[in-house]
Amino acid sequence: MKQYYCETVKNVTVSVPDEVYRRARIRAAESGSSVSALVTGYLRSLSSDDESEFARLRELQRTVSAEVRRFTATGRLTRDEVHDRAALR
């Protein structure tokens, strides 16, 4: 599969051991692709992982914020109890 770029692309130089490059060329050939396309796919997967992680953290923040709104001060410890000063008297 040939890739045709309709947008601006960046050239990146990456240094990898010979064996890693050889295996990447084999994998690309087996899939009818190029090493560049493999790297592009990998980098895209990283960015989608970041987006899903961001969405997960945003949902966690909403959950925690909702619980904080339900917080009540009933049954709080006194300042002395918090700092264990009551035992020192």
pLDDT beyond 70 at 55: yes
Q: pLDDT category, 24, cuts 50, 70, 90?
A: very high
What's the Rg (C-alpha) of the chain?
27
Please identify which residue in the block is written with the tokens 């001060």. 73
pLDDT band at 37 (very low <50, low <70, confident <90, very high): very high
pLDDT over 90 percentage in the chain? 31
pLDDT of amino acid 2: 63
Query: Would the pLDDT of 38 be above 70?
Result: yes
Residues in Cβ contact with 3 at an 8 Å cutoff, skipping those fewer than 6 apart: 34, 36, 37
